[in-house]
Chain A
Amino acid sequence: MDDSRPIFLQIAEQIENDIISGALPEETQVPSTNELAAYLRINPATAGKGVNLLVDTGILYKKRGIGMFVADGARARLVAQRRDQFREQYVTPLLTEAQKLGITPAQLAAMIGEASR
């Protein structure tokens, strides 16, 4: 948990990450609010808020009396969302820092090419 953002957002993000990585496959049950709270040592209401955020966006769904499950197609939707955020979260700051250091976009592209080889 970091201090800069509300915990419930961080909970939602952690579950999203687990869905994207495949640790939580579609149609599997996610840990209960109380399990999350005990494991992460946070208030159960906060954990519930994070889970509900994902229910509201249709990433998780509720099976009455059983628990929360990962929705069909959740992974593809999350990946699409994250791709949209990628430019803003990673590319823009990368370009800003590169500019500060006098690295041109062409040099940057070359560096990326080398690093991924």
Chain B
Amino acid sequence: MSDIIRVDGLSKTYGVGQNAVHAVADASFGLEENRIYGLLGRNGAGKTTLMQLLTGQEFATRGSIEVFGESPVENARVLDRVCFIKESQRYPDDFRVKHVLRSAPWFFAGWDADFADDLIRQFRVPVNRRMKKLSRGQLSAVGVIVGLASRAPLTFFDEPYLGLDAVARQLFYDVLLADYAENPRTVVLSTHLIDEVSNLLEHVLVIDEGRIIIDSSADELRGSAVDVVGARTAVDAFTAGREVLHRAGLGGLATATVAGLDETGRAAAAAAGLELAPVSLQQLVIRTTTGETADRTNGENA
């Protein structure tokens, strides 16, 4: 499979001097065709800025971006094949839901009107209501419907679930999987609700303070870290010389999150009387992105 996005040394800085904010800092990565990616990170980590850069809505301060082999900026050949569902999409004041559906085919060559109508019914969106009058959840539902029915070869969903209830979120995930299976395309899903989507993702990018700190297949990440639980002395002895992502303790008990433990390591832990507990993707992301602003001298723990 070929890279659909190629990013090299990408930086985006707002402001100058001491007040400069490095929203994206020296990011380099590639996204392959027809995969579902998760773009994960805390508030203000740089997820939205990165997606704006990839869709030509922001200019890079440094570095290069290639989408379908070309720069996306002001480039219809690229942008015709891209759909970006933003968290806070604005619509013309007098637009109703049906106007959004009617205008979508102007922007998306692959628009499937029947599929959109079907989704409108499933998400129970009132087509004659003005966009301004929709609830937060209904507004998100319209975004999700446009993103799915556009069938764009490259689709970005930036936290598409705001205000969506649990039923609608599950519906979104189910429809996304089913439609992706029939119409493969590249999907980038930015989200905080990691546990909800972790099984949908094939590959994960974690961004923290503008830096890509994890770029790994979801299956490799799964089981890449384990919690080692036991007597503090035993845990300390076991973790000496190993990469520890996080430590916590209570009295004589300690828990250490250890990265990259292989079968021999697991056996050694069991022999030392330590318990091993799995770490979910969400916990792994939390543990690698917790903490205050710090220089990441050993942040390469992917």
Contacts and interface: CB of A to CB of B under 8 A. Distances in A.
Contacts of B219: 6-8, 46, 49
B202 A38 contact: no
Contact of A5 (B36, B173, B222): B222
A3 B280 contact: yes
A5 B180 CA distance: 24
Interface in B201-251: 201-202, 218-220, 222-223, 226
Interface residues of B, number: 25
A34 interface: yes
Contacts of A45: 35, 202
A33 B181 CA distance: 9
A38 B181 contact: yes
Contact of A7 (B177, B180, B199): B199
Nearest to A6: B219
A46 B181 contact: no
B195 to A, nearest CB: 9
A34 to B, nearest CB: 4
A40 B226 CA distance: 24
A38 B178 contact: yes
B155 to A, nearest CB: 15
Describe A's contact surface by its main secondary structure: helix
B181 A42 contact: no
A4 interface: yes
B226 A4 contact: yes
Interface string B151-190: 0000000000000000000000110011011100000000
Q: Give the interface size class of chain A.
A: 20 to 34
A24 to B, nearest CB: 21
A44 B222 contact: no
Given A34-B181, A44-B177, A44-B181, A1 B226 contact: no
B100 interface: no
B208 to A, nearest CB: 21
A7 B220 CA distance: 10
B199 A43 contact: yes
A20 to B, nearest CB: 24
A63 interface: no
A41 interface: yes
B181 A6 contact: no
19 contacts: A3-B222, A3-B279, A3-B280, A4-B222, A4-B223, A4-B278, A7-B222, A33-B181, A38-B174, A38-B177, A38-B181, A40-B199, A41-B173, A41-B174, A41-B200, A42-B177, A43-B202, A45-B35, A45-B202
Per CB-CB distance, the 8 closest pairs between chain A and chain B, nearest first, are: A4-B278, A34-B181, A6-B219, A3-B278, A3-B280, A42-B199, A43-B202, A44-B181
Interface of A: 1-8, 33-34, 37-38, 40-46, 49
Given A8-B219, A38-B178, 12 more contacts: A3-B279, A4-B222, A4-B277, A5-B223, A6-B222, A6-B223, A34-B178, A41-B177, A43-B200, A44-B177, A45-B35, A49-B219
